Structure 1
Amino acid sequence: MSTTETPYDLETEQPKSSIEGRSPWRLAWERLRRDRVALISFVVILLIVAIAVFAPVVAAITGHGVNTQYRANGLTPDGMPKAPSGEFWFGTDDLGRDILVRIAYGARISLLVGVVATLLTVAIGVVVGLAAGYFGGIIDTILARLVDVVLSFPFLLFALALVSITGPSLKVVIIAISAFSWASVARIVRGQVLSLREREFVEAARSLGASDSRIMFVDVLPNVMAPVIVYTTLLIPTVIVVEATLSFLGLGVPAPTPTWGGMLNEAINYYQVAWWFIVFPGLALLITTLAFNLLGDGVRDAFDPGSDRLLNAQTESEKGE
């Protein structure tokens, strides 16, 4: 008596017959929610967001203001930063300010710049990429050359010029980052649109009299969103690092507003005698960027089941069986 085994999908751990007809988005979600690293990273990101949102609560719990200088009890008799203690959990900086409170408020700047600049970057890149890939011809040539110019222009030089004209501010940081990051998104979207614009569903939409804008944003755009989402997730930590770098160089948000990059800059002259001054802001930056990168890797693997990490996981699973 012969039996027929039901084939299983290694990615979702379900019978293949049960996943037939499901959308790629549903399958990607099922793969993502089984990725423990991605889920842990997402939880860490939520905790960081909660710390940023409830920074005033952190300040209230410690009883210390974000820019208040506690020179009497926040500095040693020699005028040096105080080590972590029951009063100052993460220690103090060179002015006697609570490092824990400043890190919590600094998370607001990093996340705000990371999310806003990334969304602005992606919006510009998607529009330019859609137009270049869909229309082609002279429009594609002009936009492609514009992308090449933006990618070849030195970012730091532009940031220096912009800051020297307008002065450092949060708005300048977001504009500087967005002005140079959208070109990579445009290239990705353009390449995807070039492979889609002659597909049957696009031709069908044209034959029905749909406008170009409707075809681009209703018919084509949803089909290129997967790589855009992956790139967006991986771009956020890059933007956070860029913002920290600009603040470290004095080109970011001006003092006394706390930023992680600015705190690292302030700790340069004290790291040998006050390790906490540089370690805790550095750990905050490291953990945040690492969590976003790991989540981005998980999103990439969810949309691309043929990636190396997923294949390795499947191989290990098969060896265990």
Structure 2
Amino acid sequence: MTEIIAPDAVVPTQPTRNQWWDVWDQFKSHKGALLGSGFLIFITIAVLFGPYVWTLDPQRLDIRAKDIRPIYNLLWDGSVKATWAHPLGTDNLGRDTLAKLMAGGQVSLAVGWVAMMLSLFLGAAIGVSAGYFRRVDGPLMRLTDLFLALPLLPLLLVIMLLFRDSLRAGFGPEVGIFILIVTGIGITSWMQTARIVRGDVLALKEREFILAARSIGTSPAKMIGRHLLPNVMSPIMVSATLGLANAIITESALSFLGLGFPSDFPTWGKLLFDATDRMELYPERVIWPGLAISLTVLSVNYIGDGLRDALDPRIRGR
């Protein structure tokens, strides 16, 4: 009798798990990063779509409604001038504080995002070039050292004073100042990204897959685009969060010093600057934009911490 041997049972294999799901699992375990992401999404939606709900013009003057206190004062003392029509109060010209906060947030966040993208582009380009092309490594790193040695805030003040009038005349008072602030912040905040990316590229150049790609004649452009940039995205993404926070703070500082946007164009820093004269009588006018800046920057920093842990394979899974 012939013995029939059954074939080996085929063991079903689980599909390969996408690494981005591992990144998300590690990211959501960071409670601060989740809270920061939620607040950043909330503040972005509030400043973008809030004006469609709260339709008061932030530049509308109403002298009869000037110096109204926030609505919580009505709960404390009924004699305090307050009204539900202006829940966060008004300024000395009768402009609604809530409407100005939303309008100022649009400008501050726009400056932060655009300046961050410009600084990331410059930092990644200089870092990859310095790490991959040995002949330009020295000059580019000395240029980076030069920018790191410069006092950035005084340099920005000089740039604002030198080019403000010409750009305002060429592009208008709002667009010209926006271009100037974004460019100034972008060209003075790329150095940390460049150094981090250069170090990672120098380490990647000695890996086997890079040597194999070079041995088959892969061009430098394809080498950078297909092999180097995808492997340095994690430090670039972390630098993006820190760059966004730095850009918001820098724009607020420039506006607070009176060198930012025009006086009738609100930003969070400009609201702080306008509120300092009567800060003792109306401290809430400083509190609202200060809270917006602080909480936004804090949330972005928490997101950066979460991304750093989630994108590091040595930490992921702990």
TM range (shorter): 0.7 to 0.9
**Amino acid in structure 2 at the alignment position of 1:220:** L
Counterparts of 1:1-321 in structure 2, within 5 Å, are 22=17, 24-60=19-55, 64-75=56-67, 85-136=83-134, 138-167=135-164, 169-304=177-312
After superposition, the Cα gap between the structure-2 partners of 1:144 and 1:185, relative to the gap in structure 1 and judged at 3 Å, is same
Q: 1:306 to 1:218 in 2, by over 3 A?
A: closer
Mapped to 2, the partners of 1:155 and 1:207 lie a distance apart of 43
Q: Distance in 1 between the 2:215 and 2:202 partners?
A: 19
The verdict on how the C-alpha distance between 1:83 and 1:303 changes in structure 2, with shifts beyond 3 A counting, is farther
Shifted more, 249-258 versus 176-185: the winner is 249-258
* Residue type at the aligned position of 2:238: V
Q: CA deviation at 1:85?
A: 3.1
Cα separation, partners in 2 of 1:142 and 1:93, compared to 1, 3 Å: same
Q: Secondary structure at the match of 1:268?
A: helix
> Match of 1:91, SS?
coil
Deviation at 1:20, TM superposition (A): 10
Q: CA 1:176–1:37 in structure 2 vs 1: closer, same or farther (change >3 Å)?
A: same
Separation in 2 of the partners of 1:227 and 1:234? 11
- Asked if structure 1 preserves the Cα contact closer than 8 Å seen for 2:65 and 2:90, the reply is no
Rounded Cα–Cα distance in structure 2 between residues aligned with 1:300 and 1:20: 27
Compute the RMSD of aligned alpha carbons.
2.2
Equivalent-residue separation in structure 2 for 1:179 and 1:28 (angstroms): 31
Distance (Å, rounded) in 2 between the aligned partners of 1:88 and 1:160: 36
Deviation at 1:151, TM superposition (A): 1.1
Cα distance in 1 between the residues matched to 2:150 and 2:15: 48
- 2:29 is paired with a residue of what secondary structure? coil
CA distance in 1, matches of 2:85, 2:283: 18
Q: Deviations over 1:136-159 (max 9, x none)?
A: 1x3100100010111111212222
**SS of equivalent residue, structure 1 residue 191:** helix
Q: Distance in 1 between matches of 2:81 and 2:307?
A: 40
| Larger-Rg structure | 2
Distance 1:84 1:298, change over 3 A: farther
**After superposition, what is the alpha-carbon deviation per residue over 1:212-252, rounded to whole angstroms, capped at 9, x for unaligned?**
01101211111111111112112211211111011101122
TM-score by length of 1: 0.82
Q: CA deviation at 1:253?
A: 1.8
Q: Report the TM-score, using the length of structure 2 for normalisation.
A: 0.83
- Give the 3 Å change call, closer, same or farther, for CA 305–134 of structure 1 in structure 2: closer
Checking the alignment, whether the CA contact within 8 Å between 1:83 and 1:274 is kept in structure 2 is no
1:19–1:135: structure 2 CA closer, same or farther, 3 Å change rule? farther
> C-alpha offsets along residues 227-286 of structure 1, whole Å, 9 cap, x if unaligned?
111121122112111110111011222221111111111111111111211111111111
Q: Is the 8 A contact 1:68 1:97 kept in 2?
A: yes
Q: Report the 3-state secondary structure (helix = DSSP H, G, I; strand = E; otherwise coil) of the residue aligned with 1:204.
A: helix
Mark the CA change 1:36 to 1:261 in structure 2 (over 3 Å): closer, same or farther.
Answer: same
1:185 deviation in Å? 0.7
The Cα of 1:306 is off from its aligned counterpart by 5.8
SS of aligned partner of 1:273: coil
Query: Are the aligned partners of 2:119 and 2:243 in contact in 1 as well (CA < 8 Å)?
Result: no
Query: Using the alignment, how far apart are the partners of 1:143 and 1:250 within structure 2?
Result: 34
Report if the CA contact (8 A) 1:84-1:276 is conserved.
no
Q: Distance in 2 between matches of 1:183 and 1:293?
A: 18
CA–CA distance in structure 2, aligned partners of residues 84 and 280 of structure 1 = 17
1:34 CA displacement: 3.0
Unaligned runs of 5+ residues in structure 1 are 1-17, 77-81, 315-321
Q: Distance in 1 between matches of 2:81 and 2:313?
A: 48
